[in-house]
């Protein structure tokens, strides 16, 4: 290949539900363009969901440029397009048959990567990078993000940790950002962000926060957990900007912000409740303790993922602190036992905060996912 010609990448994203599929693929697309000098086309079947995370996106357009990425509406009838050098089929979405033919028809067939969901389970290291034989002359491989050395790693933009630390050391920058959300931090309060699915444990957690000696301030981005928060507060419809006080707890709904601004929210908070895949990873990069509401799967398959991650995550903590966090995550995902679990977490707060920073540093020492993908392609050609 001519060294002056940029490699072309096509990323295919089918939005199954919520924002994780588009959240991950958009983050990856942006990073490939910004840091790896490749040209990227992102095919998305639901631009309305995309617009939530990136309001500059115009859902009515078939094709548009954002952040140097060509964004294309995944059309019902596939047009004739040239296949890219590297094709990412995100989360097993099915490539259009004519596009597959175009991939095979290239002089050098395209490299086809199935980017899988994130899991900390041990088998991931063994499956990462394995070929998936195809009937035509196409080369397809499984590409697994992950936390261990022999996986594809995590999405992490260059300089992320430094930027995050600088922001966390700058109270003015934090104050200014929170003000854009209509938030004034309560002095001395634990600042908590709450992004979750509907959760049966929510009321118990809010009860214990309200009854605590220390004040807590919970910020709730607009989303699925809102119904539970409204029910707990006894309010019909929560308005952004209104602060609701119950005992030691103040609750405020905040807007669902652009993806890069959500990072700033996570960085401002002392504790982040997150969900799915992408917010879960971003909370880890915040260097602060987190609570994961895992995406529920059939036959309780998510439970092994939860336990596998926890086992790795608490490795650097003392057994009692690790157990406290484990109990909290189990309670949150099982719908019971939050009050006691939260009290135990509070008793180990400083250690869990240190562990969060340690974990972040350990993960940041590994190659990031975009770099690993580029390297995989270089090794393959
Ligand atoms: O939205 P999620 O629950 O997404 C998913 C999908 O449901 C997917 O099908 C499933 O398989 C996967 O979870 C495990 O959670 P996630 O992955 O955290 O995606 C949320 C995205 O929204 C993430 O990119 C961060 C972004 N976001 C913002 O941009 N602004 C905000 O204010 C908030 C709260 C989130």
Q: How does pLDDT run across 58-82, given as a tens digit for each residue?
A: 999 999 999 999 999 999 999 999 9
Say whether 307 sits in a helix, a strand or coil. Answer: helix
- Using a pLDDT cut of 90, give the percent of the chain over it: 94
Where on the phi/psi map is residue 180: left (φ > 0), alpha (ψ -120 to 50), or beta? alpha
- 101 is known as an active-site residue: no
Specify the higher pLDDT residue, 153 or 133: 153
Atom of ligand 1 nearest to the CA of 257: 32
Residue 220 lies in domain? 160-364
What's the pLDDT score for residue 4? 60
Mean pLDDT, residues 159-175 taken together? 98
Mean per-residue pLDDT, 338-353: 98
The active-site residue, picked from 10, 45, 116, 277, is 277
Looking up tokens 């919970």 gives: 218
* Res 137: pLDDT: 83
Cα-flanking dihedrals φ and ψ of residue 166, to 5°?
A: -65, -40
- Whole-angstrom Cα distance, residue 13 to residue 91? 8
The reply to whether 249 falls in a domain is yes
Q: What is the pLDDT of residue 3?
A: 52
pLDDT, position 1: 47
Backbone angles phi, psi at 267, to 5 degrees: -70, -30
Verify whether ligand 1 is closer than 6 Å to residue 256 (CB atom): yes
Q: Where does the pLDDT of residue 29 fall: very low under 50, low under 70, confident under 90, or very high at 90 and above?
A: very high
DSSP 118: P
In a domain, residue 314? The reply is: yes
- Residue 52 CA: which ligand 1 atom is closest? 29
Q: Examine the residue annotation and report whether 21 is marked as an active-site residue of this protein.
A: yes
Q: How many Cα atoms sit within 13 Å of 213 on the Cβ side?
A: 3
* Mutation choice for ligand 1 from 17, 19, 260, 280, CB with most ligand atoms inside 8 A: 19
Residues 360 and 372 in one domain: no
Q: Where are the alpha helices (DSSP H) in the chain?
A: 20-36, 47-53, 97-105, 123-127, 160-168, 171-180, 202-210, 226-233, 259-268, 278-285, 301-313, 319-334, 338-347, 349-364, 369-380
Regarding the beta carbon of 18 and ligand 1, being less than 6 Å apart is answered yes
* Cα 294 to Cα 231: distance, rounded to the nearest angstrom: 22
**Do both 324 and 227 map to the same domain?**
yes
Helices 278-285 & 20-36 angle (0-180, nearest 10): 50
Q: Are residues 134 and 245 in the same domain?
A: no
Q: What is the mean predicted confidence (pLDDT) over 73-96?
A: 95
Closest protein CA for atom 8 of ligand 1:
20
Calculate how far, in angstroms, residue 250's C-alpha sits from the geometric centre of ligand 1. Answer: 25
Q: Which residues does 212 contact at the CB level (< 8 Å), separation at least 6?
A: 247, 248, 249, 346
Distance 278 CA to ligand 1 centre (A): 6
- Average pLDDT on 339-364 reads 98
How many whole angstroms separate alpha carbon 22 and alpha carbon 17? 9
Residues 61 and 179 in one domain: no
**Alpha carbon of 285 to ligand 1 centroid (Å):** 15
165 plus 311 within the same structural domain: yes
Nearest CA to ligand 1 atom 29: 259
Instruction: DSSP for 151-175, please give it.
Output: S------TTHHHHHHHHHT-HHHHH
Does the CB atom of residue 257 touch ligand 1 within 6 A? yes
Asked if residue 45 is part of any domain, the answer here is yes
- Can you give the CATH number for the domain in which 26 is found? 3.40.50
Q: Is the minimum distance from the CB of 19 to ligand 1 under 6 angstroms? A: yes
The answer to whether residue 53 is domain-embedded is yes
User: Does residue 346 surpass a pLDDT of 90?
Assistant: yes
Is 143 among the domain residues?
Answer: yes
- Contact between 149 and 363 under an 8 Å Cβ cutoff? The reply is no
Give percent of the chain above pLDDT 70: 99
Q: Is the pTM of this model over 0.85?
A: yes
d(CA 48, ligand 1 centre) in Å:
14
- Predicted confidence at residue 135, as pLDDT, reads 84
- Cβ atoms of 192 and 218 closer than 8 Å: yes
From 18, 157, 264, 333, the mutation candidate for ligand 1 (largest count of ligand atoms within 8 A of CB) is 18
The total domain count for the chain is 2
pLDDT at 144: 98
Dist. CA 363 → ligand 1 center (Å)? 21
Q: Is the CB of 20 under 6 A from ligand 1?
A: yes
Residue 292 domain-assigned (yes or no): yes
Q: Where does residue 129 fall: left (phi above 0), alpha (psi -120 to 50 degrees), or beta otherwise? A: left
Average pLDDT over residues 366-375: 98
What is the predicted pLDDT for the residue at 337?
Answer: 95
CA 139 to ligand 1 centroid distance, Å: 30
Mean pLDDT over the full length of the chain = 96
Q: Which of 21, 85, 351, 368 is catalytic?
A: 21
**In this structure, are 99 and 224 located in the same domain?**
no
> What number does the ligand 1 atom closest to the CA of 258 have?
29
Say whether both 146 and 194 belong to one domain: no
DSSP secondary structure of 49-95: HHHHH-TT--TT-SEEEETTEEEEE--SS----PPPSEEEEETTPPP
Nearest atom, ligand 1, residue 19 CA:
1
CATH of the domain at 225: 3.40.50.2000
146/166 same-domain check:
no
- Give the pLDDT mean for 166-177: 98
Domain identity same for 179 and 324: yes
CA 116 to CA 225: how far, in whole Å? 26
137 Cα: distance to centroid of ligand 1 (angstroms): 35
322 backbone dihedrals φ, ψ, rounded to 5° = -60, -40
Examine the domain organization and report whether 197 and 304 are in the same domain.
yes
At residue 177's C-alpha, the angle toward residues 171 and 180, to 5°, is 145
CA 305 to ligand 1 centroid distance, Å: 17
Instruction: List the structure tokens of 29.
Output: 């697309």
Domain check: are 373 and 352 in the same one? no
Nearest CA to ligand 1 atom 12: 276
Q: Which residues pair with 73 in a beta bridge?
A: 44
Tokens of 159: 């300089």
CB burial readout 19-55, b (16+ within 10 A) else e: bbbbbbbbbbbbbbbeebebbbbbbbbbbebbebbbe
Q: Is residue 223 part of a domain?
A: yes
**Of residues 133 and 254, which shows the higher confidence score?**
254
Nearest-angstrom CA–CA distance, 95 and 287: 37
CA–CA separation, 142 and 112 (whole Å): 9
* pLDDT, average across residues 141-159: 97
Domain membership of residue 351 (yes or no) is yes
Closest Cα to residue 289, out of 341, 230, 229? 341
Pocket test for ligand 1, best of 154, 279, 282, 295 (most atoms within 8 A of CB): 279
Residue 125 has pLDDT above 60, yes or no: yes
Give the sign of the dihedral formed by CA 196, CA 200, CA 201, CA 203: positive
Examine the domain organization and report whether 185 and 66 are in the same domain: no
């Amino acid at each position: 290949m001519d060294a002056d010609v940029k490699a072309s990448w096509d990323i295919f994203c089918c939005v199954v539900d919520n924002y994780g599929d588009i959240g991950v693929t958009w983050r990856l697309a942006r990073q490939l363009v910004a840091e790896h000098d490749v040209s990227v086309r992102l095919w998305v079947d639901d631009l309305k969901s995309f617009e939530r995370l990136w309001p500059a996106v115009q859902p009515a357009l078939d094709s548009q440029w954002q952040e140097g990425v060509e964004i294309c509406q995944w059309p019902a009838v596939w047009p004739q397009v040239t296949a890219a050098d590297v094709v990412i089929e995100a989360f097993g979405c099915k490539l259009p048959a004519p596009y597959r033919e175009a991939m095979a028809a290239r002089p050098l067939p395209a490299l086809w990567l199935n980017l899988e969901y994130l899991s900390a389970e041990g088998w991931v290291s063994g499956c990462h990078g394995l070929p998936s034989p195809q009937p035509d002359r196409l080369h397809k491989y499984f590409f697994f993000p992950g936390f261990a050395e022999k996986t594809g790693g995590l999405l992490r933009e260059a300089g992320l940790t430094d930027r995050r630390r600088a922001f966390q050391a700058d109270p003015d920058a934090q104050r200014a950002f929170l003000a854009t959300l209509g938030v004034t931090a309560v002095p001395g309060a634990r600042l908590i962000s709450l992004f979750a699915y509907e959760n049966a444990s929510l009321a118990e957690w809010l009860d214990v926060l309200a009854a605590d000696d220390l004040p807590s301030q919970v910020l709730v981005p607009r989303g699925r957990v809102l119904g539970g928060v409204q029910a707990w507060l006894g309010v019909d419809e929560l308005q952004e900007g209104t602060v609701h006080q119950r005992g030691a707890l103040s609750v405020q709904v905040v807007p669902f912000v652009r993806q890069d601004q959500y990072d700033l929210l996570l960085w401002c908070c002392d504790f982040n409740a997150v969900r799915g895949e992408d917010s879960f990873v971003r909370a880890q990069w915040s260097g602060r303790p987190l609570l994961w509401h895992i995406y529920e799967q059939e036959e309780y398959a998510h439970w092994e993922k939860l336990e596998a991650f926890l086992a790795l995550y608490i490795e650097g903590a003392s057994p009692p602190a690790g157990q406290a966090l484990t109990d909290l995550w189990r309670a949150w995902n099982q719908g019971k036992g939050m009050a006691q679990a939260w009290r135990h977490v509070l008793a180990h707060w400083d250690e869990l905060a240190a562990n969060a920073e340690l974990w972040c540093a350990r993960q940041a020492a590994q190659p990031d996912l975009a770099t690993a993908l580029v390297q995989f392609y270089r090794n393959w050609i």
